[in-house]
Homo-oligomer: A and B are copies of this chain.
Amino acid sequence: MARLSDIIEEFIKSLIKQSEGELELQRNELAEYFECAPSQINYVLATRFSLDRGYHIESFRGGGGFIRIVKLNLDEDDYLLYLTNERIGVSITWQESDDIVTNILERGIINEREAAIMKAALRDKTIAVPKNLRGVIRANMLRAMLVAIISTQV
Contact = CB atoms under 8 A, between A and B. Distances in A.
Decide if the interface of chain A is mainly helix, strand, loop or mixed: helix
B151 A116 contact: yes
Interface stretch (A10-18, A75-83, A128-136): A128-136
Interface in A123-154: 123, 125-129, 133, 136-137, 140-141, 144-145, 147-149, 151-152
Q: How large is the interface on A (under 10, 10 to 19, 20 to 34, 35 or more residues)?
A: 35 or more
Contacts of A140: 125-128
Contacts of A1: 64, 66
A63 interface: yes
A152 B64 contact: no
A129 B126 contact: no
A117 interface: yes
A105 interface: no
Count of identical protomers in the assembly = 2
7 contacts: A3-B63, A113-B148, A117-B148, A120-B145, A121-B144, A127-B140, A128-B140
Given A116-B152, A117-B149, A137-B137, 8 more contacts: A2-B64, A3-B64, A113-B148, A120-B145, A120-B147, A121-B145, A127-B140, A128-B137
Nearest to A118: B117
A119 interface: yes
Given A63-B3, A64-B2, A137-B137, A148 B129 contact: no
